Amino acid sequence: MINRTQVGIVGAGPAGLLLAHLLQLEDIESVVLETRSREEIEATLRAGVLEQGTVDVLNESGVGERMMREGFVHHGIVLRFAGRSHRIDLTGLSGGRSIMVYAQHEVIKDLAKARLDAGAPIEFGVKDVTLLDLDTAAPRIRYRDGAGALRELACDYVAGCDGFHGVSRPTIPSRRRTEFTRVYPFGWFGILVEAPPATDELIYAHHERGFALVSTRSPSIQRLYLQCEPEDQVANWPDARIWQELHTRLATGDGWRLTEGRIFQKGIVAMRSFVVEPMQYGHLFLAGDAAHIVPPTGAKGLNLAVADVRVLARALTAFYRDKRSDLLEQYSTTALRRVWRAEHFSWWMTSMLHRFHDDTPFHHRLQLAELDYVTRSRAKATTLAENYAGLPLD
């Protein structure tokens, strides 16, 4: 059976769902195809930090109400190194911007609800998604629906929002794309804990045993990460080892102590930097993790996905409303400028805060010198603050 829509969207992550929502506000029709179930996408634990521009987009498009009620606005972060804490005043240094701690899966729930309440389709549980005729004005998406029936969706444009492991990017002929990759020699071990917050602001800790991060989710649930081996296994980390490592890496001279609690979730995240250029092939546009990955240290991945789809939604709106294709033609160039800024920031934060396998005492001293400079120089702290809180979207 063949259906028709204006924009076929592959993937119901933050990129796909927000794009569908922004297009719907402009009366542009789309169909979202997702391999997983609604329950699965709403239960996947990932990002926690929304930058100012992301918060603004969600509010301006009418899906920010629960985030404003349940999220936590933070005006600073703490860098901890050599046993001492140093606050970076994000708001004071970035011209009044702040960040919101609100879990990615809550954003997903808000976006999925907005779309389904509006009676617009998200097809969950699809299989065998194949993109066809992308280099023509009549691209098609072939797939099996949740019941196993073969379907085809004819569209004007396809948005590849299917994440790093999706089908969209590999569908672009290899001679028409260039990929840039860096894999880091470590991962992040993440836990969720039943405990009250131990700190008012996120703590990014540099330690000779490796990086640690204290984040939060709610007054009773905390999110903690620590640097681990790239091929590490959850089974290698009994609770007692996790707490010992966290206490060691986060120790300060002033008696501050992390609050322990019941650990109810453990997982390992790989760390890589990746960009594909261009982010377009014919009538296919890539957005979010399908086009780029950053290591999580700068908290940029979800925010980049949001920035991409805002540029793409505007370009598609100019096409449908004013018959202008110039913004679509510029999409990749426009998006990549922000992508590479975030790639650099994420690489810089990662390099400054983690222990590397080939670390020498010289390298360790260089990291400490950089951290010392960031916390003493207003110019350097401003660089961190404006990138972390997020450069303006326009």
DSSP 61: T
79 interacts with ligand DHB by CB under 6 A: no
Candidate segments 247-255, 278-286, 300-308, 316-324, binder of ligand FAD by CB under 6 A = 300-308
99 interacts with ligand DHB by CB under 6 A: no
48 interacts with ligand DHB by CB under 6 A: yes
> Smallest gap, in angstroms, from Cβ of residue 25 to ligand FAD?
18
> Smallest gap, in angstroms, from Cβ of residue 38 to ligand FAD?
10
Of residues 116-135, which lie at the interface with ligand FAD (CB under 6 A)?
Answer: 129
Q: CA 27 to CA 276: how far, in whole Å? A: 30
- Tell me whether residue 388 is one of the annotated catalytic residues: yes
297 interacts with ligand DHB by CB under 6 A: yes
Chosen residue from 56, 110, 162, 201 binding ligand FAD by CB under 6 A = 162
Amino acid (one-letter) located at 350: T
Residue 57 region by backbone torsions, left for phi larger than 0, else alpha for psi between -120 and 50, else beta:
alpha
- Tell me whether residue 300 is one of the annotated catalytic residues: yes
Q: 169, exposed or middle or buried, with CB in 10 Å at 0-12, 13-18, 19+?
A: buried
Out of 14, 21, 74, 281, pick the active-site residue. Answer: 74
Asked if residue 19 lies in contact with residue 5, where contact means CB atoms within 8 angstroms, the answer is: no
Q: Which is nearer to ligand FAD, 71 or 296 (CB)?
A: 296
Out of 206, 296, 331, 354, pick the active-site residue. Answer: 296
300 interacts with ligand FAD by CB under 6 A: yes
Q: CA 73 to CA 386: how far, in whole Å? A: 16
167 interacts with ligand FAD by CB under 6 A: yes
Amino acid (one-letter) located at 242: I
Helices of type H across the chain? 14-25, 38-43, 52-60, 65-70, 90-93, 104-117, 168-171, 239-250, 301-322, 326-353, 361-376, 378-389
- Tell me whether residue 363 is one of the annotated catalytic residues: no
161 interacts with ligand FAD by CB under 6 A: yes
> Smallest gap, in angstroms, from Cβ of residue 376 to ligand FAD?
26
Token pair for 4: 């028709």
Q: Which of 75, 276, 102, 87 is nearest to 173 (CA)?
A: 276
Asked if residue 306 lies in contact with residue 54, where contact means CB atoms within 8 angstroms, the answer is: yes
Where do we find the tokens 């002929």?
A: 173
- Tell me whether residue 204 is one of the annotated catalytic residues: yes
Q: Which is nearer to ligand FAD, 230 or 372 (CB)?
A: 230
Per-residue interface string for the shown chain with ligand DHB, residues 177-216, x marking contact by CB under 6 A: -------------------------x----------x-x-
Asked if residue 215 lies in contact with residue 205, where contact means CB atoms within 8 angstroms, the answer is: no
296 interacts with ligand DHB by CB under 6 A: yes
Q: CA 137 to CA 282: how far, in whole Å? A: 8
Judged by the rule CB under 6 A, the positions of this chain that interact with ligand FAD are: 10-16, 33-36, 41, 46-49, 104, 129, 161-163, 166-167, 190, 269, 288-289, 296, 299-303, 305
Active site residues: 74, 204, 296, 300, 388
Interface residue list for ligand DHB (CB under 6 A)? 47-49, 202, 213, 215, 223, 296-297, 299
